[in-house]
Amino acid sequence: MDFTFTDDQEMLRRTVREFAEQEIAPTMMEFDEKQEFPREIMAKVGELGLLGIIFPEEYGGAGLTYIDYVIAVEEISRVDGSIGIAVAAHNSLCSNHIYECASEEQKRRYLPKLTTGEWIGAWSLTEPTAGSDASGTRTQARRDGDDWVLNGSKTFTTHGAVGDLCVVFAVTDPSKGKHGISAFAVEKGTPGYRAGKKENKMGLRASDTSEVIMEDCRVGDDQLLGKPGEGFVDAMKVLDGGRISIAALALGMARGAYDAALKYATEREQFNKPIATFQAIQFMLADMATEIDAASLLINRAAWLKDRGMKVNRESAMAKLYASEVGVRVCDRALQIFGGYGYVKDFPVEKFYRDVKLCTIGEGTSEIQRLVIARDLLSRV
């Protein structure tokens, strides 16, 4: 067992940290206030190789590991969760669905555009009436000659409006329940495909979360990803990897809030002493640091298993459940340490506090993670 990162991983961490502090931090509040997706910053994230980090070089990717990916998402999110979720959704949902489930021809068609950041990827499973129970998908895909015709609407799609390619799930055989749901790659500009309402969110406001609407949207059979009827099963596999990145997103924000609170506690004086000398503040910092470390260990174990192609269903759910709940607790305590200054937008913890809450909801709520973990535990009895 080895708890150290390699020299290359330490260098990756330094590179991404510098990038995030220089290129993202100066304007992140502006984008947050305007609720605008920062396209130019995302292009730079792409130039750095972070939009294809886990994919082989033959598809234009950086060919790095899931551990490297966790480091990158964590360091970006330590500065800004909106870019963090953009990197996570693009890599481990859209691109990874194509990488893990598509044909070789489809991989060659789509991945080079995604891995370089020329295209932004979206992945659209959730519907207004099918959230935690995604098997209740109602969007339909009807066979028509050599094509498929899609009708229905999706909600809460990250990059639903700004995305260039969306992996969409639709029912192809209503008689087969969750084994009758298939995945399709739909390109922006396809007639009958459009974004609907853009959500006005409490946090991650520079990230685009929108409805996706399909009205007689015709796609070729060569846009069906994987076997017909296996889209839902593939989605669950993709989420096993995605959840590690949402855990890293939460961890990054927790670290950002903790670092800010630690510094503030040594600078802010009350009763003629730095507030860090009060045991109440020290205990909060100690709990925050301990929980951050524990979350990091769970995340890196899941990433390590994923890198070895081992089963990661329970471990990724544990990492996501724990790290997201820690993220919420740590950001809450950080805000408390800042007192009134934590409640205003001049310091970063107000934004972390709003942004981090998504992590207990997206890619399966905390309750659903517990179901996944319990199902695995009971299957071994």
Which stretch of DSSP H or E encloses residue 211? strand 209-220
Please name the amino acid found at residue 108: R
The CA distances from residue 9 to 83, 216, 247, 314, in Å, are: 20, 47, 19, 26
Q: Quote the tokens at residue 284.
A: 């909060």
Q: Which is nearer to ligand FAD, 33 or 367 (CB)?
A: 367
Which x/- pattern over 104-143 shows residues binding ligand FAD (rule: CB under 6 A)?
-------------------xxxx----xx-----------
Q: Which is nearer to ligand FAD, 123 or 184 (CB)?
A: 123
Among 89, 168, 206, 326, binds ligand FAD (CB under 6 A): 89
Under a CB-based contact definition with an 8 Å cutoff, are residues 229 and 173 in contact? yes
Using rule CB under 6 A, residue 83 touches ligand FAD: no
The DSSP bridge partners found for residue 127 are: 130
Which x/- pattern over 321-360 shows residues binding ligand FAD (rule: CB under 6 A)?
-------------------------------------x--
Q: Which of 74, 71, 46 is nearest to 60 (CA)?
A: 46
**Nearest-approach distance from CB 199 to ligand FAD, in angstroms:** 7
Q: Which is nearer to ligand FAD, 285 or 361 (CB)?
A: 361
Q: Which is nearer to ligand FAD, 315 or 363 (CB)?
A: 363
Q: Which is nearer to ligand FAD, 236 or 361 (CB)?
A: 361
Using rule CB under 6 A, residue 158 touches ligand FAD: yes
In terms of Cβ atoms closer than 10 Å to its own Cβ (0-12, 13-18, 19+), residue 26 is: exposed
Report the distance separating Cα 366 and Cα 158, nearest Å: 19
Q: Which residues are catalytic?
A: 363
**Nearest-approach distance from CB 55 to ligand FAD, in angstroms:** 19
Using rule CB under 6 A, residue 363 touches ligand FAD: yes
**Nearest-approach distance from CB 368 to ligand FAD, in angstroms:** 6
Q: What's the CA dihedral at 354, 329, 345, 267 to 10 degrees? A: -170
Q: Rounded to an integer, what is the distance from CA 154 to the centroid of its chain?
A: 18
Report the distance separating Cα 207 and Cα 37, nearest Å: 6
Among 99, 156, 264, 338, binds ligand FAD (CB under 6 A): 156
313-338 and 349-356 are packed helices; what angle lies between their axes, rounded to 10 degrees? 150
**Nearest-approach distance from CB 122 to ligand FAD, in angstroms:** 6
Under a CB-based contact definition with an 8 Å cutoff, are residues 77 and 249 in contact? yes
Q: Which is nearer to ligand FAD, 251 or 288 (CB)?
A: 251
Among 76, 204, 249, 298, binds ligand FAD (CB under 6 A): 204
Residue with tokens 């919420």: 328
Q: Which stretches of the chain bind ligand FAD, using CB under 6 A?
A: 89, 123-126, 131-132, 156-158, 201, 204, 209, 358, 361-365, 367-368, 371
